[in-house]
Amino acid sequence: MCLIIFSWQPDSQYPLILAANRDEFYRRPTQAADFWNDSPDVFGGRDLEAGGSWMAINKNGRFAAVTNYREVPSPAGVYSRGALVSDFVTGSQPASDYLHALQQQSDKWSGFNLLIMDSTGLYYFSNRSKDHSISPLPPGIYGLSNHLLDTPWPKLLRARNSFAQAIKESVPPDSKQLIELMHDSHQPPEEQLPDTGVSKEVEKLLSSCFIASKDYGTRNTCVLMIDSHDQLQWIDTGYLPEGVAGESRQFKIKLQQNQLS
């Protein structure tokens, strides 16, 4: 994923509400969100090139999502970042133990941001933070793009503000409204762009919530909501080159009881 906006309110009617865009080269082979043949209790998208995932959830409530940390040059990792998601959702280690083990070998991956959740809470970890600290997240509304958590890039601020307003107006929010805000193609003025080492032209392209071009762009938008009765709603829309809308699907999945409380 390259932009994730989410509300974490573990004691509320909807513990987790999340909207996300996955940005990737259109030529990279991908399997749309569904249950996995080799792990039937896991639901999510699949990267068919490296075998991992950008976001997935197990029916037992184990959830994970990853974004790349943009840096130039980007050192090649020993392992695919998508494995961070698939390894967690198919595993059984408590989230904290998983992250502490990852902390000891985090240099084996290119720069990443990782969100993971189990019955103990929601956690954030990046191998590009100054102290590689593990952060259990308190209740709040957060944004994550291709820098650290809540780095105030213009597109993150726009999306997070719109998301917060949608949450304020209605819980659960209108899923169509969440999808629409993730379709925002606004590009900020050049003086507001971050400097991540890419050219100004590329920085401009990447500055909008929804990215569309011939070769690279937003491949899918996902809205995910989990309620206090462990009911998961997952809405997923795919996109073709130049941002042409593809297939849109909606799923309702019953998670195992008492995993998120």
Q: Which of 199, 189, 198, 257 is nearest to 229 (CA)?
A: 257
Is residue 111 within 8 Å of 71, Cβ to Cβ?
yes
State percent of the chain over pLDDT 70: 98
Residue 183 dihedral angles phi and psi, to the nearest 5° = -90, 10
pTM of the full structure: 0.95
Q: Which domains does the chain have, with CATH numbers?
A: 3-254 (3.60.60.10)
Task: Determine the number of helices (DSSP H) and then strands (DSSP E) in the chain.
Answer: 5, 13
Specify burial of residue 93 (Cβ count, 10 A radius: 0-12, 13-18, 19+): middle
Is the C-alpha dihedral spanning 54, 60, 62, 63 positive or negative? positive
Task: Tell me the per-residue pLDDT of 134-168, one tens digit each, with 9 for 90 and over.
Answer: 999 999 999 999 999 999 999 999 999 999 999 99
pLDDT at residue number 257:
60
**Coil, helix or strand at residue 8:** strand
Q: Which positions of the chain have pLDDT values less than 50?
A: 258-261
66, 85 Cβ separation under 8 angstroms: yes
Could you read off the pLDDT of 84-103 as tens digits, one per residue?
999 999 999 999 999 999 99
